[in-house]
Amino acid sequence: MNFLDNGDDPDGPNYVPDVRKLWGNYVAGDLAGLLGPAGTTLVFPAAPGPAGTPGQAVAPADIAALDFTNWSDMRDAIAILKSDLLEDRSSVNVLQYQECFYYTITTSSTDMVLVSKRTFANAGDAQKHAAYVVGNGMGDSLYSLFSIAGDKFTFTVDYKTVDLQTVLRGELEEPALYHKRRKYFLDHLLSRFAERFTDYALLQFRPGDINAAEERYLSDYAVLSSTRGQADGFGKKWKGLIGAPIESRHSLCNFIVSKTDPQYSYSLKIGGKTFLARLKDSHRKTRRVRLPRRC
């Protein structure tokens, strides 16, 4: 049973994209016993014929791993495999050889199948094991790539334990959809405090930057709320609304107040000739300075 309500609208805030990935990482106690400890090889690639077919099983120990002649071909095969698993273009075949069971996973590739590394006491355990591989085989962390003798290459899909934070931080959705859904959530939190970013503030940021600015604003809200009635509280709030750190020493004024020099001078020059010059005290009346007469 899936306890996550996926909703009907893929663009809606309640929709969980690729929810199968999320649930696929949950391992119950009985399945954990079948998978073994972390690092255990789950499946390996093999040629379709020698791996056996429904109704014609072969001894699992006699199935050889498929070799690739170059690294790029192997990476291309893995990319196609991941895409097939993600798009449900795969099927599981449970085969019985004497008293044991093993399985193969076929995809759109006609040159390769995945074969279970271990054997099982019954078909049900083989199905559970295969379901985990199909549900998690699109994850990069499960693949181990290595070279073998004769400048050939192969790979395996291994069992890797992950915690919930790792799953939730994984790329379960496209970046654009992630920013959109994140914006829904942040706007909802802001509305709970009757706050919102102005149109002017929104124009200053790219989509990802808007989320970061709103996150910073919400993180600083305890300080912003406590200083609401104070003079510097007004400045801090506007810094937060424009995405600036509220504790920064930058002033909102567009001018700087500083102590002037005791005296300053100014002059009028036209065509390289000086017609007027004045020397003025900062706190006194202006004094006229006579210049030599020029032709």
- Residue 273 is which amino acid? K
* Residue 177 pLDDT exceeds 60: yes
**3-state DSSP of 49-84:** CCCCECCECCCHHHCCCCCECCHHHHHHHHHHHHHH
- Residue 193 is which amino acid? F
Contact between 60 and 175 (Cβ < 8 Å): no
Q: Which residue has the tokens 């006229």?
A: 288
Comparing 43-52, 90-99, 267-276, the range with the smallest average pLDDT is 267-276
pLDDT tens figures, 244-265: 777 766 666 665 666 666 666 7
Q: Model pTM? A: 0.52
What residue ranges define each of the domains in the chain, with the CATH number in brackets?
A: 19-165 (2.30.29), 173-241 (no CATH), 261-295 (no CATH)
Q: Which residue has the tokens 């790329």?
A: 171
Q: How many CB atoms lie within 10 A of CB 261?
A: 7
